[in-house]
Structure 1
Amino acid sequence: MTARRARLRVCAVLPKGFVGGAEAWLLSLLDATQRLDVSAVLLEAGPLRGELERRGVPVRVLPVGPRPADLARAAPEVHRVLRRLDPDVVLANGVKAQAAVAVPASVQGVPVVWVKHDYSHDRALARPLGRLATRVVTTGDGVADATGRDDVVLVPPPRPPDPLPRAAAQAELRRRGVPADGAPVLAMLTRLIPYKGVDVAVRALAQPGAAGWRLVVMGSEDPAAPGEARRLRAVARGCGVAGRVHLLGQVPAAGRLLRAVDAVAVLTHPDGRGPGREGAGMAALEAMVAGTPFLALDDGGPVARRAAGGCGVLVGRAEPAAVAAALAGLDAAARERLGARGSALVADHPRAGSCADDLAAVLAEAAGLPGAGTAGGPPLSVVTTVLDEAASVDALLDALLPQLRDDDEVVVVDGGSRDATPSLVRARGRADPRVRLVEDPGAGISRGRNTGVRAARHGTVACTDAGCHPDAGWLDAFRAAAAERRPADLMTGTYRAAHRPGSAVEAAWTAVGYPDPDEARRAGPLVRAYGRAFGRLYDATLPTGRSMAFRRSAWAAAGGFPEHLQTAEDVLFGRAVVAAGGRAVLVRRALVTWQQRESLAATLRMYRSYGRGGGLAGSPLLVGRDAARALAYVAGPLALARGGPAVRTAVVAGAAAYASLPLVRVRRHRLGARAAALVPVVAGLRDLAKAVGCAQGLARRARSRARGADAR
């Protein structure tokens, strides 16, 4: 049996201490997955702690009040808790949870997945809290629209357990004191808090249209509304319907009793304090599974849309007369018709296992660890291109072969080597048939990769280059990502630029010219801001050929690697995959170590070729970056020479900002004072080399287009 990979370490922050709908959603998914290693922080004490601890989840209670000042006071302790737990990712289960954890997590660079269950505080908080989240999950279609994000993932409440047979459910209600006198029964499965509309249903029983109905309410008081049960009983007495109102309190597995009732009501409404309308609506889903119709306010939310689909009755206003009128229209034939329609609509509703997989996948992708906690995965083809690599190809194969399964392969595409590279690869192939040589004389790196992909036997292809040393878990990191139920189309790995001991110049290049793998795990505010302003931040949509994988179908949809480019082809390929509708993820443990060029001149030629590739491609992103840097080197000195104090201050501040992250890297990795002193020199050389290359590429592109126009 294939071993399961290390589980994803998740810190779940939960705002409530009791088990409401949001908490029940999370518990049901935790019960259905083995992929997550969860610890929990509760912002309120209550019975939820016991539910989590019974599942083996360690719990810390950190009481936090509802006001902004309470959240601000709690932020330092939340920061300390995250430091101690050091999770891969935080799950913020609700608005208050996200408000409590978003800033401390952002400061530390811990990714946060916000699960948005309802419409609470949408006007003020949805958009800023959504921007602070790494990913947003919603449990109801449309519930997260106010965040303004286009990457929201829907993970609905899973299909609930099958209901009890009607006779068994009726017997349980009789045991709890509900008479079996033949009167139709309206049920509400809800916490007792005013905005849930239980009082509206109580008053509806006094209306002529609902005179024959009973009301059964299953749910406990919300801590935010102490005394609500007493208030509802007083309302029932005042309306003369106390004998037909049954407040049963918390009933375990209440949804399994819904075949014993004739309708379910979901009456969440605006009251100035609550969310204003129902979110996912677990009670409505349970009613549909039971074949029982439901009433829902016509508020445009997910529950209302389900009702409009023919399995419920829309109520125009949260008023007793409107509810009573809806009940009056629910004769036996209508109830049977609506209930049957509801059952049909949820026949294919996802079970807990698939919902849990979807949640785990979002959490893992947010952490840069797609496939964490999975087992197995598809066979992979590794494609690498070589040209006169006799000095390095054996080392690459030595690193790859121990990572291969029996059904994997390595396809080495030789572009016409004049040294011993082909014979070395053939010898390795004779010793291990998983190694194959494909010869394509004259092929550059792009054409060579395309040749290798076409020759590959498998649907998922990984790429690396000669001169790279894949870490021991490199290939399995990609296999894990491909093992997801819905694998990404493009999987972008990471790389570490090595430098020779004692070489301050190479150490400075490491800090300036290449992203730091540590920053893929913890991208704090400086890393994020620097990446947005200057680039060189890991971006799943901008892969590197040193470490990447993709599905062959995505490669075909993108048109393969652009064969007219010798550099920047990997970035352009990644953007083409995304433009074709593909999904990209970062796989931070797919790490290779790459040895820098042997001399400063070789390094500058490499960067000039990078700039040339961007210019040839005409990429607005790559050309724009190079042009902006070139302009800064011209405008900066002029501004220092001719500008006033404010202008000079701005130039110096900009230069300091540009050097800030490389200097932090020098300090983090203890690269030394000489490397720090060389940072501005190396940055200038790199930028100028790229700018020259970009200008050459743009000129060549213009000449090529002109020749094409003349030919036409």
Structure 2
Amino acid sequence: MKVSLITTVLNEKDTIDEFMKSVIGQTKKPDEFIIVDGGSTDGTYEILKKYSKKYKWIKVFQEKGASIGRGRNIAIEKSKNEIVACTDAGCILDRNWLKEITRPFTKKDVDVVVGIYRPYYTNDFEYFQGLIIVPPPEKIFKSPSRMSSRSIAFKKVCWKKIGGYPNLRTGEDTLFNIILIKNGCKFYFAKYAIVYWRMRRNLKELFKQFYRYGVGDRKSKSIFKMKKNLLFIVGFWFYVFLLLFSFFVSLHLFLLLLVIPFLYFFTEGFKLAIKSRKISGILYGFIISLTKRIAYVLGVSFGK
């Protein structure tokens, strides 16, 4: 069974070598590895070209301005094999990832294989971020919104059937999975196909990440399929309206309403402290949960 591995990349100079080493070190090598660079300006493209000169099965292309969805489609169009595995360049692959993500295709009635992802962290901020953001495997396998193209493989015929990845910069994998399911593609969940996902280094990067998630979910209209997220967004703006209204009506009511989100996010932090058995989880949980919630709502509401 021949396999094409594909990915997209943009300005990953600091992490690209570690990612490439994890691909080269796979116990099962891909028959070809196709990388589409979206127009990196930090030297990433030049680093990748060196790898492609050394390893003939690595092929690098550049498509300036291409979205993640468009970049993946270009890579798949250039691929030669019926089985396509997909990951993200900002991650690190477990050495058995490709073997595990493609093994189920030996069975009948398997069109798509979904693997898992775990947080990769180097400090407390990234550690607590991983506890909050990365769902356990059983939740990944139950929801298309949690299945990620950082750990997936599929038959090219399925990709063709649905017209490829949506041309979006973010949220494209959620919509891709939803459409695959709607078209009757058979999913298989590979719990030993593991990808390590780098957590954001600071609050600014975290805010941008969830802002883009919000933009992507709105553009793909998948937000309307996520009842929990949609309810939170409606509740958020209703709360803002009440807060502004109370400011002109009653100072006591205004102060009371100000306390409510504080208690909510403090509770999130307290639960994280219990889960991690670290008292610092209260502060990190409060800050990380608050940042990602506000960023996501603003992305859905105003992002372009």
Greater relative contact order structure (CA < 8 Å, 6+ sep)? 2
Whether 1:685 aligns to 2:291 is yes
Partner Cα distance (1:586, 1:611) in 2:
26
- Given that residues 541 and 574 in structure 1 are in contact (C-alpha distance below 8 angstroms), is that contact kept between their aligned partners in structure 2? yes
Instruction: Give the greater-gyration-radius structure (CA).
Output: 1
Partner Cα distance (1:405, 1:696) in 2:
44
1:196-275 counterparts in 2 under 5 A? none
Partner of 1:419: 42
Partner of 2:134: 514
Partner of 1:694: 300
1:581 to 168, 184, 205: 184
Give the TM-score normalised by the residue count of structure 1: 0.37
- Given that residues 513 and 683 in structure 1 are in contact (C-alpha distance below 8 angstroms), is that contact kept between their aligned partners in structure 2? no
1:147-166 counterparts in 2 under 5 A? none
Residue type matched to 2:116 in 1?
T
SS at match of 1:403: coil
Residue type matched to 1:559 in 2?
G
1:206-355 counterparts in 2 under 5 A? none
Structure 1 residue 445, shift from structure 2 partner: 0.9
1:482-631 counterparts in 2 under 5 A? 482-487=105-110, 489-501=111-123, 503=124, 505-515=125-135, 519-520=136-137, 537-539=140-142, 541-542=144-145, 543-563=147-167, 565-621=168-224, 624-631=227-234
Whether 1:380 aligns to 2:3 is yes
Partner Cα distance (1:687, 1:423) in 2:
37
- Given that residues 611 and 626 in structure 1 are in contact (C-alpha distance below 8 angstroms), is that contact kept between their aligned partners in structure 2? no
Partner Cα distance (1:621, 1:492) in 2:
23
- Given that residues 511 and 679 in structure 1 are in contact (C-alpha distance below 8 angstroms), is that contact kept between their aligned partners in structure 2? no
Distance change >3 Å, CA 427–CA 401, structure 1 → 2:
same
SS at match of 2:214: helix
1:154-202 CA distances to partner (integer Å, 9 max, x unpaired)?
xxxxxxxxxxxxxxxxxxxxxxxxxxxxxxxxxxxxxxxxxxxxxxxxx
1:435 to 47, 58, 83: 58
- Given that residues 170 and 213 in structure 2 are in contact (C-alpha distance below 8 angstroms), is that contact kept between their aligned partners in structure 1? yes
Partner Cα distance (2:192, 2:210) in 1:
26
- Given that residues 381 and 456 in structure 1 are in contact (C-alpha distance below 8 angstroms), is that contact kept between their aligned partners in structure 2? yes
Structure 1 residue 666, shift from structure 2 partner: 5.0
1:198-253 CA distances to partner (integer Å, 9 max, x unpaired)?
xxxxxxxxxxxxxxxxxxxxxxxxxxxxxxxxxxxxxxxxxxxxxxxxxxxxxxxx
- Given that residues 385 and 445 in structure 1 are in contact (C-alpha distance below 8 angstroms), is that contact kept between their aligned partners in structure 2? yes
- Given that residues 29 and 98 in structure 2 are in contact (C-alpha distance below 8 angstroms), is that contact kept between their aligned partners in structure 1? no
Structure 1 residue 663, shift from structure 2 partner: 6.0
Partner Cα distance (1:472, 1:545) in 2:
18
Residue type matched to 1:584 in 2?
F
Partner Cα distance (1:476, 1:665) in 2:
34
Partner Cα distance (1:596, 1:496) in 2:
10
- Given that residues 9 and 88 in structure 2 are in contact (C-alpha distance below 8 angstroms), is that contact kept between their aligned partners in structure 1? yes
Partner of 1:393: 16
- Count residues in correspondence: 288
Distance change >3 Å, CA 687–CA 592, structure 1 → 2:
same
Partner of 2:96: 473
Distance change >3 Å, CA 682–CA 388, structure 1 → 2:
closer
Structure 1 residue 634, shift from structure 2 partner: 5.3
- Given that residues 449 and 561 in structure 1 are in contact (C-alpha distance below 8 angstroms), is that contact kept between their aligned partners in structure 2? yes
Partner Cα distance (1:414, 1:566) in 2:
13
1:61-106 CA distances to partner (integer Å, 9 max, x unpaired)?
xxxxxxxxxxxxxxxxxxxxxxxxxxxxxxxxxxxxxxxxxxxxxx
Structure 1 residue 574, shift from structure 2 partner: 0.4
SS at match of 2:280: helix
1:311-340 CA distances to partner (integer Å, 9 max, x unpaired)?
xxxxxxxxxxxxxxxxxxxxxxxxxxxxxx
- Given that residues 614 and 623 in structure 1 are in contact (C-alpha distance below 8 angstroms), is that contact kept between their aligned partners in structure 2? no
SS at match of 1:676: helix
Structure 1 residue 418, shift from structure 2 partner: 2.5
Task: Name the % identity.
Answer: 24
Partner Cα distance (1:678, 1:407) in 2:
40
1:627-654 CA distances to partner (integer Å, 9 max, x unpaired)?
3113334557969x87xxxxxxxx99x9
Partner Cα distance (2:117, 2:30) in 1:
26
Give the TM-score normalised by the residue count of structure 2: 0.83
- Given that residues 410 and 434 in structure 1 are in contact (C-alpha distance below 8 angstroms), is that contact kept between their aligned partners in structure 2? yes
Partner Cα distance (1:682, 1:390) in 2:
26
Q: CA RMSD of the aligned region, Å?
A: 3.0
1:108-154 CA distances to partner (integer Å, 9 max, x unpaired)?
xxxxxxxxxxxxxxxxxxxxxxxxxxxxxxxxxxxxxxxxxxxxxxx
Structure 1 residue 679, shift from structure 2 partner: 1.9
Residue type matched to 1:495 in 2?
Y
Partner of 1:675: 281
Distance change >3 Å, CA 621–CA 498, structure 1 → 2:
farther
Partner Cα distance (1:572, 1:425) in 2:
29
The structure carrying a bigger helix percent of its residues is: 2
Residue type matched to 2:289 in 1?
A
Partner Cα distance (1:417, 1:685) in 2:
28
